[in-house]
Amino acid sequence: MIPLWMYLLVAAAMFCIGVYGVLSRRNAVAILMSVELMLSAVNINLIAFWRYTAPSDMAGQVFTSFVFVIAAAEAAVGLAIIISIYRSRRSVAVEDVNLLKG
Amino acid sequence: MDFSALLNDPNFLPWLIPVGPLLAFVIISLLTNRSRMTPATSAAYGGHHPDYEGMLVPIVTDRSRIASIIVGMSGVLAAWAIAYRVVFDALGIADFGRSVFTSAVTWMDTGALTFKMGVLVDPLTVIMLIMVPLAVTMIFIYSIGYMAHDPRQSRFFSLISLFAGAMLILVVADNLLLLFVGWEIMGLCSYLLIGFWFEKRSAYNAAIKAFTTTRIADVIMLLGIAYLYFATGTLSFREIMYDPMPTHDSAAAVAGEHDEGVAVAEGDHSETVVAVEGEAVEGEAIAVAAENEGDHSEGAVAGAEGEYAAEGEHVHTWAIELAETPAIFFGGISAAGVIGIFLVIGTIGKSAQFPLHVWLPDAMEGPTPVSAMIHAAAMVSAGVYAIIRMYPLFEAGGHPHDGDLTSPLMLMAVVGSVTALFAATIAVAQNDVKKVLAYSTISQLGFMMAALGIGGFIAAAFHLITHAFFKALLCMAAGAVIHGMEHGEHHVHAHGHGHGALPAGAVGALPANVGGGAVDPLYDAIPDHGHGAGHGDGGHGANAHDEQPGVSSHAHEVGDEQGHGFDPQDMMNMGGLRRTMPVTFITFLIGGLSLAGLPLITAGFWSKDEILAEAWLGTTKGFGPHALVLVCLSVAAFLTAFYTMRQLGLTFWGENRTEEAAHANLGRGVVSATMTLPLIILSFFAITAGFVGVLPDFPILGGIFSPEGAPFGEFIGRTLVEEPPHLDFNIIPVAISFIVALGGLLVGYLMYWRRPLTAGQRDPLMAILGDSIHTTLRNKYYFDELYIAVFVRPSQWFAKNVAYEFLDKGVIDGFLHLIARLFNFVGDLIKMLNLWLIDGVGDGIPEMIGRLGKWFRGAQTGRIQQYMLLVLVAALVIGVIFALSSGVLQAAP
């Protein structure tokens, strides 16, 4: 059987890729996608720990379902914001969205 | 209280005498003194004030004029009516003087002493109440015409009402303080009225001079009053000079200083003192006094004054007590002597006696009715009246009739006789018609003072009354002459020359020139300040004229000169006025002859004769002061007759010396009527007032006028406790009177009437006296110049250099500047502290915050990814710390 650390390694890799994407991509859509990646990495962690440590109760799966729901909502709202930004500014590059700059 | 009973009570009525004029003063000042604004150049303002050109000045409205005249006249007539009511009540009482009309109210209750203010009508007051309201009423009537077109007529009536009211207060006062109140109000009124035409520099200078000069004397008089009150605890005339003194122990309580005087007296009265000890002193005073008389004669025998014992019936008044008390200073003089000298100095100022006489001639700058008021009815009379009123105090301790003069009497005798002679010599060389009268007033007041000095109480009072009548007459007649001359001046300017272009300065001619038409009644009403430039330099106008005797004749040829040089008061410009002003001439003649003392028929003769008789009586007994008075007064009387004749001759006799004089008249109508009526009435009194004082044993006339003793002397003598001795007729003083009066008149007649001066001719007096003496006399012995050099200049120097430069600018300003510097310095310090510390902290805090914010702003890039990075780093750091601290890493294999 595949040991737990391999899952964790994949999840960590995915998370790091997601973090890198969030921090480095200029395109807001890509950032959003990276966030999804990070969320997916967390989901892998959650499922992996559930399966290897406490398969008897449902907590891991429930958590993962919650994360899916939230991720869907986040993607919906995030995309709506991005579309709205694009409409007004004709760009989805995050460095253009700097109205909050001090 | 029954009001009508009060009005019939002669004790109460004197209170009301001054009320009328005072009320008139208030009403006119507050209600009827309404003015409208008029350009200063308008004829209604006199048109003589070039300084005020283009300016609006207030001119009293016609309605206010009439209202003021009515109010003023009613006030003075009310005073007259009440005064005469009191006078007739008094004359009806046989022994008036022993009993008097008096009432008093408590004015000031100071615990130990009660000061009472009240009125007193005794024979002396009665005499004054006959004269003052009469003269004042005449002056008021005259003022109606004289001031008819003055821009400030209401103001004039208000002030002159106050003047009259003050004189009446002074006359009815029963104590020295109330007398002093009236005295000072008169000082104020004289100041305001002499400076009435304050547009003229000379007028306001004269006002200041009069006020300052009399003030000097008044301060000294006030010292005398204060000393008197300090010594006796009362200022009431009757209490000091008529009633017997309260017992000595109370006196000692009042004036603790009288150790020596009281020590002697207490021994004498020890029994009496015991008798009344512990009882109310006032109530017992009369009873005690009866015993006192007996006691005192013993005491006097024991003391130095042996005479009292011989007389026996002497009432021991406060005055006599004071005469026996040594003064607290000036060793050797009695308290009465010091008080007396102080009071006499007050009178010297008020009545313009020798060293302080300088204000009176200048006071002629005021309107003529004011001159009459000052010279006759009030002011200078008040000075002599105060002496007569306080006479027993001056006399106390001496017997002038026995050649024993006290120091105040000696002072009066010397000052009076010197003044009489000195002023008379000045008067002979004056050319200003009013100045002559001013010096004659000074001279006549000198007669009164001299008479008082040698004990001529009755003679002085008599001369005071007769002088008031004829001097009021003369002043007003001179005013009429001036008025007439101005009328003539306007006439000449309107008709005579018709010079169209006057020089800018020819202000004298303005209204008439502009009118250019026929003479109308307005002209005779433009008062004598209508020639502002004519004698703008005051007293020097006449002098300038004298130095060029020919100027008046030139004036005819050089028309333009007239506006500048013509002086309507200069007698050299007059002559021949008898033709155009006959009424004024006759009345002036009567007044003048009365002043000169024309024997037998004029009032002046009788009163002067009585003074000379007093002096003669003393001289025959070999008393020096009496002889001095006799000589000085005889010469002065001669000069009086002479200068009167000169004045009359120059003014009325001969031919007109100028064209103005030819046209001089009073015009017709109300103005001339109101101006001549008082002259006629007063000339009646100027003759008849003397007949009340004819000595009973005077040949023929004595039998006619005073078969039972001279009414005046008998009446007024009862003012005093001891009636003054009655003079016996003596042919020598009468002969002297005849000789000096007739001699003076004759010399004057020969010099000025027989060959009247023609235009441009020199005064014949100059040839007789020589130029230097005449110049000295004309310049009044250079007294003004002397006073300017001795008093005015040094005080100006002192004011400028010491008071202003040193004290004010140096010390006071320096001190203030020092304080200012000091505080400036302290202020600078505090300012620096403020800037450095408070501002530093206050500004520093926000600056730091701002800077911090600016620095911190850098973190806020607006780049979401940066934020995320930071969050990640933070999370990692926290994670590492957490891991290290919780031992997770150690636990891992």
Q: Are B520 and B626 in contact (CB under 8 A)?
A: no
Q: Are B245 and B317 in contact (CB under 8 A)?
A: yes
Judge: A19–B872 Cβ closer than 8 Å, yes or no: yes
CATH class of A4-91: mainly alpha
Q: Identity (one letter) of the amino acid at B664?
A: A
B861 touching A, CB under 8 A?
yes
Could you list the beta-strand ranges (E) of B236-321.
Answer: none
CA separation (Å) from A25 to A18, B797, B861?
A: 10, 103, 17
What is the pLDDT, as a whole number, of residue B794? 87
B859 touching A, CB under 8 A?
yes
Q: Which residues contact B297 (CB under 8 A, 6 or more apart)?
A: B308, B309, B312, B314
CA B10/CA B85 separation, integer angstroms: 8
A81 touching B, CB under 8 A?
no
- Comparison of pLDDT for B759 and B463, the residue scoring more: B463
Most distant CA pair in chain A: distance in Å? 54
CA B382/CA B375 separation, integer angstroms: 10
pLDDT at residue B635 greater than cutoff 60: yes
Which member of B858, B859, B863 has the closest CB to residue A94?
B863
- Comparison of pLDDT for B336 and B306, the residue scoring more: B336
A88 touching B, CB under 8 A?
no
Per the structure block, which two tokens stand in for A5? 């650390």
pLDDT tens digits for range B39-58: 777 777 765 555 666 677 78
CA B300/CA B265 separation, integer angstroms: 9
B869: chain A residues, CB-CB within 8 Å: 23
Residues B19-31 as b or e (16 or more Cβ within 10 Å = b) = bbbbbbbbbbbee
pLDDT tens digits for range B805-824: 888 888 999 999 999 999 99
* Phi and psi at residue B104, to the nearest 5°: -145, 155
Q: Are B453 and B414 in contact (CB under 8 A)?
A: yes
Instruction: Please tell me which residue of chain B has the smallest CA distance to A31.
Output: B865
Q: Are B416 and B446 in contact (CB under 8 A)?
A: yes
**Residue B883 distance to chain A (closest CA, Å):** 18
Q: How many residues does chain B have?
A: 893
pLDDT at residue B636 greater than cutoff 80: yes
A22: chain B residues, CB-CB within 8 Å: 865, 868
What is the pLDDT, as a whole number, of residue B789? 86
Q: Are B452 and B391 in contact (CB under 8 A)?
A: yes
Which element (helix H / strand E) includes B818? helix B813-833
SS3 state of residue B192:
helix
What is the pLDDT, as a whole number, of residue B473? 92
Residue spans per domain, chain A: 4-91
Judge: B862–A19 Cβ closer than 8 Å, yes or no: no
Per the structure block, which two tokens stand in for B627? 């002889």
Number of helices and strands in chain B (H, E): 43, 4
CB neighbourhood size of B544 (10 A): 14
Residue bearing tokens 């077109």: B149
A98 touching B, CB under 8 A?
yes
Instruction: Please tell me which residue of chain A has the smallest CA distance to B859.
Output: A102
pLDDT at residue B669 greater than cutoff 80: no
Which element (helix H / strand E) includes B39? strand B35-39
Which member of B860, B865, B872 has the closest CB to residue A101?
B860
**Of B810, B436, B819, whose CA–CA distance to B643 is shortest?**
B436
CA separation (Å) from B308 to A102, B98, B305, B316, B721?
A: 122, 22, 6, 10, 14
Residues B199-220 as b or e (16 or more Cβ within 10 Å = b) = bbebbbbbbebbbebbebbbeb
ipTM value: 0.78
Of A5, A26, A98, A99, which to mutate for an interface test with B (greatest number of B Cβ within 10 Å)? A98
**Of A60, A58, A30, A55, whose CA–CA distance to A43 is shortest?**
A60
Q: Are B639 and B661 in contact (CB under 8 A)?
A: no
Which member of B861, B865, B868 has the closest CB to residue A101?
B861
Residue bearing tokens 């890198």: A20
CA B297 to chain centre: 43
Residue bearing tokens 């009225």: B193
User: Exposed/middle/buried for B878, CB within 10 Å: 0-12, 13-18, 19+?
Assistant: exposed
The 8-class DSSP code of residue B173 comes to B
A95: chain B residues, CB-CB within 8 Å: 863
- Comparison of pLDDT for A67 and B100, the residue scoring more: A67
The 8-class DSSP code of residue A93 comes to B
Judged by average pLDDT, the poorest of B137-141, B273-277, B866-870 is B273-277
Q: Which residues contact B72 (CB under 8 A, 6 or more apart)?
A: B21, B24, B28, B140, B157, B158, B160, B161
Which member of B860, B864, B869 has the closest CB to residue A94?
B864
Q: Identity (one letter) of the amino acid at B71?
A: V
A101: chain B residues, CB-CB within 8 Å: 860-863
A100 touching B, CB under 8 A?
yes
Residue bearing tokens 């009489």: B420
Judged by average pLDDT, the poorest of B255-264, B457-466, B476-485, B849-858 is B255-264
What is the pLDDT, as a whole number, of residue B330? 64
pLDDT at residue B878 greater than cutoff 90: yes
pLDDT tens digits for range B183-216: 999 999 999 999 888 878 888 889 999 999 899 9
Residue spans per domain, chain B: 458-499+507-778, 785-860, 862-893
Average pLDDT over residues A89-99: 79
**Of B227, B240, B180, whose CA–CA distance to B327 is shortest?**
B227
The dihedral formed by the CA atoms of B755, B640, B742 and B484, expressed in degrees to the nearest 10: 50
Instruction: Please tell me which residue of chain B has the smallest CA distance to A99.
Output: B862
CA separation (Å) from B162 to B173, B568, B669, B681?
A: 16, 30, 29, 24
Q: Which residues contact B874 (CB under 8 A, 6 or more apart)?
A: none
SS3 state of residue B108:
strand
Which element (helix H / strand E) includes B473? helix B457-491
User: Exposed/middle/buried for B764, CB within 10 Å: 0-12, 13-18, 19+?
Assistant: middle
pLDDT tens digits for range B588-607: 999 999 999 888 888 889 89
pLDDT band at A1 (very low <50, low <70, confident <90, very high): confident
Residues linked to residue B35 through DSSP beta bridges, in sequence order? B60
Over its C-alpha atoms, chain A yields an Rg (Å, rounded) of: 17
Which member of A19, A94, A102 has the closest CB to residue B860?
A102
Judge: A97–B864 Cβ closer than 8 Å, yes or no: yes
B864: chain A residues, CB-CB within 8 Å: 94, 97
Instruction: Please tell me which residue of chain A has the smallest CA distance to B867.
Output: A23
Average pLDDT over residues B533-538: 35
**Of B646, B773, B783, B675, whose CA–CA distance to B362 is shortest?**
B783
CA B802/CA B695 separation, integer angstroms: 60
* Phi and psi at residue B63, to the nearest 5°: -65, -40
Instruction: Please tell me which residue of chain A has the smallest CA distance to B858.
Output: A102
B865: chain A residues, CB-CB within 8 Å: 22-24, 31, 94
SS3 state of residue B326:
strand
CA B326/CA B255 separation, integer angstroms: 13
pLDDT at residue A41 greater than cutoff 90: yes
**Residue B875 distance to chain A (closest CA, Å):** 13
Q: Identity (one letter) of the amino acid at B686?
A: A
**Of B567, B550, B472, B451, whose CA–CA distance to B132 is shortest?**
B472
Of A27, A95, A96, A99, which to mutate for an interface test with B (greatest number of B Cβ within 10 Å)? A95
* Phi and psi at residue B245, to the nearest 5°: -70, 145
Which member of B857, B862, B869 has the closest CB to residue A98?
B862
**Of B175, B168, B173, whose CA–CA distance to B189 is shortest?**
B168
Judge: B861–A94 Cβ closer than 8 Å, yes or no: no
CA B521/CA B525 separation, integer angstroms: 7
CA B626/CA B401 separation, integer angstroms: 10
CB neighbourhood size of A21 (10 A): 19
A94 touching B, CB under 8 A?
yes
CA separation (Å) from B488 to B89, B435, B670?
A: 49, 21, 18
Judge: B861–A22 Cβ closer than 8 Å, yes or no: no
Of B855, B860, B861, B864, which to mutate for an interface test with A (greatest number of A Cβ within 10 Å)? B864
pLDDT band at B496 (very low <50, low <70, confident <90, very high): low
Q: Are B174 and B102 in contact (CB under 8 A)?
A: yes
Judge: B862–A22 Cβ closer than 8 Å, yes or no: no
What is the pLDDT, as a whole number, of residue B511? 38
Which element (helix H / strand E) includes B325? none
B863 touching A, CB under 8 A?
yes
CA B420/CA B629 separation, integer angstroms: 9
CB neighbourhood size of B475 (10 A): 28
Judged by average pLDDT, the poorest of A83-87, B163-167, B318-322 is B318-322
Q: What is the C-alpha end-to-end distance of chain A, expressed in Å?
A: 54
